[in-house]
Structure 1
Amino acid sequence: MCYAHIQIGCNSISDMANGYSRWLFEKSDRVFLDPDRGEHEMRYAYYTTTAELRRRLQLVGFTRETLECEFREFKHNGVWFSNLQKLYDTPEKAQRRAYTVEHASLDDWLHALGLWVSGYMASRMHEYRVSDPLVDIGILKECFERTWSPHSKAKKLRDVLPRHNSIGFPCASLECLAVALLEVVKEDAPCELDVSEFVNCGDSSFDDVERYDGEIWFPGDRKPIESNFTGYVECDDI
């Protein structure tokens, strides 16, 4: 089984099996990453900058305002969640968890997300002050540790429960989850769709891309992306 992964700043927001959608990435975004590792360890990805991904999201109607709407709708209609640790909560923690999830603002959630992300966290995340002293940011961070598992046949809930599958953030669409992550990562965070497993299994989508040894190269029909990105950093090294 092959997988493709959409990542923002080394944080996966969508994992696709047995096929993949290019989503908001374009054919001209294709790059080779880590080519010095050899033919079978090279990564094949669609890469763009945070600024460009934010622009593409805006073009299809997804902004901070859209995220706020999904957050309010989810909070009103959705089934709140946490990870399995709630089964072992003490009565005191259960009460604190319930209060936190009910009263946390979107900015509280974004602050927790910023503290939780793997690398590339924007420095402004350290400066945030929680909206309510009884809201526990640590509990919100726990919510990101497991994916969502909604099993509702009610159409109203299907419309608001998440369609992304990687981070337990209170919004429904993959696009709004991307908006949320772009709010909390540095401007030089890489945004990519990694399709290496599919290419290694015969996907021909990179056959027309020029490659040179020892460098990160872009397709031959355009110039490299203009950004502050000075070199790819492996997530495990951050």
Structure 2
Amino acid sequence: MTYRAYYMFDGYPVAWQEDNYSRWLFTREDRVIRKRTKGERNVLIHDLPENHAEWDEPETDYLYVVTAEELRRRLSLIPCLDPVNSITYLDEDTKYGQDMTSLRSEFDRYRRAMIADKAPTFYASSSDYYGEEAKAARQHVPERADALRGTTLDDWLLALKEIVERGATRAKGFTSPPMPKGPTFDTKALADIILTDQHPCNWNLRPRHDLWGFPCSLLEHLAVAMLEVIPANAECVLDVTELVENDCVYCFEDLVLANEDGSIALA
């Protein structure tokens, strides 16, 4: 069985890692242990107990928490990353700051690469294909290029806001919607594309997040987009509860021990 860490914006999961995690832009000082009931679970990532009698039973969350405003500040301080390999080389010409300017630049790069092929190829569901299996798994999806030809980043941000408000996510028990056919692509059509289980075969377009259909590759760029569609006072959270509870990681051990000693108060 695998266990996940979730990167969430205002309760909405945009990326997850299995059996381990990277702190990304979070720090040890952001760690929080919170108590809640089973009935207060985030249903976008965990089911409620079938037995309603269990809903009042306590559970514990192990989280890294910052405000949307603070995450925006941290994004503004990191070097602009190469969207293909997620690294950059620091020199006197290095530009800093992930913001709407860098997101628009990434959208333009992604769009140019996608529409260069009239029928770009995609894998469905899994990225771990090899040999003949890889050939069989590839699909030509001209609609993905068509959607980018006729839309702007602002159109995609509206669609992103819709799926966040609707709570539609691939994180748990989700069936990817059918690919919209066009020729025009409204907000609902773009939302369906964002939630697709197809990701580009083109390595330069591979998403490093789990909203595979949103037109950017890096989590940093998706984070900028998410900050545009959630409240300024929303929480941005790295939830490592599953990993801590199942002894996959021990990053909260000092806080757990301090709580047992009564030297800290739980949130």
TM-score, structure 1 normalization: 0.69
What residue ranges of structure 2 are gaps of 5+ in the alignment? 39-55, 79-96, 115-119, 126-140, 168-183
1:17 partner amino acid: E
Matched, 1:146 2:196: yes
Question: Aligned pair 1:168/2:186, yes or no?
Answer: no
Q: 1:36-185 maps to which residues of 2 (within 5 A)?
A: 41-60=59-78, 61-78=97-114, 79=120, 99-118=146-165, 135-151=185-201, 157-185=202-230
TM-aligned CA deviation for residue 159 of structure 1: 2.6
Indicate conservation of the 8 Å contact 1:33/1:42, yes or no: yes
Q: CA deviation at 1:135?
A: 4.4
Cα distance in structure 1, aligned partners of 2:223 and 2:65: 15
Secondary structure at the counterpart of residue 33 of structure 2: strand
Give aligned pairs, total.
189
For 2:235 and 2:32, how far apart are their aligned partners in 1?
Answer: 12
Q: Which amino acid aligns with 1:114?
A: K
In the TM superposition, 1:15-34 aligns within 5 A as 15-34=16-35
CA shift in 2, pair 1:33/1:118, >3 Å = farther
Call closer, same or farther: CA 1:196–1:5 in 2, change over 3 Å: same
Where has structure 1 moved over 3 Å in runs of 4 or more? 35-40, 94-101, 210-213, 215-218
Q: Which has the higher strand share?
A: 2
Alignment map for 1:192-231 (pairs within 5 Å): 192-202=237-247, 203-209=249-255, 210-211=258-259, 217=266
Identical-residue share of aligned pairs (%): 34
For residue 172 of structure 1, give the secondary structure of its aligned residue in structure 2: coil
Q: Secondary structure at the match of 1:34?
A: strand
Instruction: Verify the 8 A CA contact 1:30 1:44 in the aligned structure 2.
Output: yes
CA distance in 2, matches of 1:2, 1:171: 26
- Change in Cα spacing, 1:216 to 1:101, as seen in structure 2 (3 Å) is farther
Contact 2:14–2:211 (CA under 8 A) maintained in structure 1: yes
For residue 33 of structure 1, report the CA deviation from its aligned partner. Answer: 2.3
Q: Is residue 13–residue 167 contact of structure 1 (8 Å, CA) maintained in 2?
A: no
Alignment check: 8 A CA contact 1:74 1:161 kept: no
* Structure 1 residues 118 and 106: alpha-carbon distance in aligned structure 2, compared to 1, 3 A threshold: same
Amino acid at match of 2:149: E
CA gap 1:39/1:29 in 2 versus in 1, 3 angstroms: farther
SS in 1 for 2:227: helix
The answer as to whether partners of 1:71 and 1:106 remain within 8 angstroms in 2 is: yes
Query: Are the equivalent residues in 1 in contact too, given 2:160–2:191 (CA < 8 A)?
Result: yes
Per-residue deviation at 1:147? 3.9
Give RMSD over aligned pairs.
3.2
**Would you tell me which structure has more helix in proportion to its own residues?**
1
| Cα gap change, 1:41 to 1:190, in 2 (>3 Å) | same
Residue 190 of structure 1 corresponds to 235
